[in-house]
């Protein structure tokens, strides 16, 4: 007798967060992804996979891209290419101008590494501030934010569906399930989680929960929040700049921008010469500056919103809410950035910088 098997892909289960009727089946088989990776764009007749290159062949390819080598640069390249992927380094060939030496190519690579390392240092204070403010606001104001009686403790505010937008309530169970799955995976490793499982029956207060969540999790959570609640939090969190008419929708764009920058930095992705996948809204003062003073048209402004410079503007907005010592760190970074631009002969255009970028980004205390 043949077994009747229900096959479901693991991605479908996580995305749909639904139940399946398996009463008519003998087995449920959860499939995962596998190699090769194909989709509808995969050609019927595919090319033969390339053979790996030796170090010497890599250097020859760089020469074909117009990169020149002195005797010492050739020696340096043989060492560098053993620890830095050829495809990570060779992409900078397109940005080398008059000086096409390997040294200049490597300078641009190092400049991009500086941008990445700086972002990795600049974002944690923002992430901590967002999580702290959100958890404190929701837990302290929970009973005033809802219009019904509840037995939930303030710390469990995130479990109350009343705080979420009506159109998002169907997605909230999946979000909370993902949070719970992640917390459960740490209950034997993290002392704080272990403490709350043992002493408080597994009830995790929001101020503990947020410390375990990623920026992506936080962005989703904020996106799902009821707009009236989100507006109140935004007014409290970014009070320093809310006088400029910050819309609560902007905070989602800003959080997504920070999330993307963080992910790029964490995964060693490239910033230099890269069109970034965010389009944050600028404060009115900056929008007017770009349109009137710099005389950009709306198409150019939209292009600017995809640049590394746009990302730094959003980082600055968040730093305006942080203590003065953090703002001082931000200004120190700007000074270092100016120095690195000169040292590595970086092209401002490749990171979306106008000539007066220092004036726009600096925080005056």
For 15-25, how does the pLDDT look when each residue is reduced to its tens digit (9 = 90+)?
556 677 777 88
Please check whether residue 26 is in contact with residue 4, taking contact to mean a CB–CB distance below 8 angstroms.
yes
> What residues pair up with 225 in beta bridges, in sequence order?
164
**Rounded CA separation 220/94 (Å):** 37
Helices (H), the chain: 10-16, 55-64, 71-80, 86-90, 102-145, 172-185, 191-199, 206-212, 215-224, 227-237, 239-242, 248-266, 284-288, 298-304, 308-319, 324-343, 357-361
What pLDDT was estimated at residue 14? 61
Residue 13 has pLDDT above 80, yes or no: no
Please check whether residue 67 is in contact with residue 96, taking contact to mean a CB–CB distance below 8 angstroms.
yes
**Rounded CA separation 209/130 (Å):** 13
What pLDDT was estimated at residue 8? 77
What pLDDT was estimated at residue 147? 76
What pLDDT was estimated at residue 127? 97
- pLDDT band at 32; cut points 50, 70, 90: confident
pLDDT tens sequence across 44-54 = 777 888 899 99
Residue 242 has pLDDT above 60, yes or no: no
pLDDT tens sequence across 319-358 = 999 999 999 999 999 999 999 999 999 999 999 999 999 9
Phi, then psi, of 306 in degrees rounded to 5: -100, 5
Residue 186 has pLDDT above 60, yes or no: yes
Residue 256 has pLDDT above 90, yes or no: yes
The mean of the pLDDT values for the chain is 91
Give the residue-averaged pLDDT of 310-317. 97
Beta strands 5-9 and 27-31, pairing class: parallel
Give the residue-averaged pLDDT of 222-241. 88
- pLDDT band at 246; cut points 50, 70, 90: low
Phi, then psi, of 31 in degrees rounded to 5: -90, 145
- pLDDT band at 60; cut points 50, 70, 90: very high
Q: Kindly tell me the sign of the dihedral angle through the C-alpha atoms of 314, 316, 320, 325.
A: positive
Q: Return the HEC string of 84-139.
A: CCHHHHHHHHHHCCCCCEHHHHHHHHHHHHHHHHHHHHHHHHHHHHHHHHHHHHHH
Residue 31 has pLDDT above 90, yes or no: no
Q: What percent of the chain has pLDDT over 90?
A: 76
What pLDDT was estimated at residue 16? 57
What pLDDT was estimated at residue 260? 97
**Rounded CA separation 169/162 (Å):** 9
Give the residue-averaged pLDDT of 268-277. 96
Give the residue-averaged pLDDT of 128-146. 95
Higher pLDDT, 172 or 30: 172
pLDDT tens sequence across 216-231 = 999 999 999 999 999 9
What pLDDT was estimated at residue 23? 78
pLDDT tens sequence across 97-121 = 878 999 999 999 999 999 999 999 9
Nearest CA to 5 out of 24, 18, 32 is that of 24
**Local structure of 361: helix, strand or coil:** helix
Residue 361 has pLDDT above 60, yes or no: yes
Residue 165 has pLDDT above 90, yes or no: yes
């Amino acid at each position: 007798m043949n077994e009747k098997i229900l096959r479901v892909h693991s991605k479908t289960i996580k995305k749909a967060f639904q139940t399946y009727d398996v009463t008519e089946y003998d087995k449920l088989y959860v499939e995962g992804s596998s190699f090769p990776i194909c989709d509808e764009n995969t050609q019927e007749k595919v090319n033969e996979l390339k053979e790996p290159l030796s170090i010497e062949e890599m250097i020859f390819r760089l020469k074909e891209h117009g990169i020149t080598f002195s005797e010492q640069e050739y020696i340096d390249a043989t060492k560098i290419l053993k620890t830095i992927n050829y495809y990570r380094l060779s992409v900078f060939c397109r940005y080398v101008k008059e000086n096409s030496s390997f040294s200049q190519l490597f300078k641009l690579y190092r400049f991009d590494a500086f941008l990445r390392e700086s972002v990795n240092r600049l974002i944690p204070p923002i992430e901590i501030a967002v999580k702290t403010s959100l958890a404190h606001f929701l837990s302290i104001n929970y009973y005033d934010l809802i219009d019904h009686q509840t037995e939930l403790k303030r710390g469990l505010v995130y479990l109350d569906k009343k705080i979420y937008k009506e159109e998002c309530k169907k997605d909230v169970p999946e979000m909370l399930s993902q949070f719970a799955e992640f917390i459960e995976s740490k209950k034997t490793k993290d002392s704080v989680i272990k403490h709350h499982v043992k002493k408080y029956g597994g009830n995790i207060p929001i101020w503990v929960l947020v410390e375990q969540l990623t920026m992506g999790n936080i962005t989703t959570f904020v996106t799902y929040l009821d707009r009236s609640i989100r507006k109140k939090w935004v007014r409290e969190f970014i009070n320093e700049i809310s006088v400029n008419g910050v819309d609560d929708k902007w905070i989602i764009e800003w959080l997504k921008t920070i999330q993307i920058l963080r992910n790029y930095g964490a995964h060693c992705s490239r910033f230099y010469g890269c069109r970034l996948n965010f389009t944050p809204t600028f404060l009115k003062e900056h929008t007017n500056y770009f349109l009137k003073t710099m005389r950009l048209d709306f198409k150019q402004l939209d292009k600017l919103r995809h640049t590394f410079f746009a990302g730094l503007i959003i980082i600055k907005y968040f730093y305006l809410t942080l203590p003065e010592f953090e703002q001082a760190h931000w200004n120190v970074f700007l000074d270092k950035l100016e120095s690195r631009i000169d040292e590595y002969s970086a092209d401002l255009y490749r990171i979306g910088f106008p000539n007066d970028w220092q004036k726009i980004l600096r925080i005056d205390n």
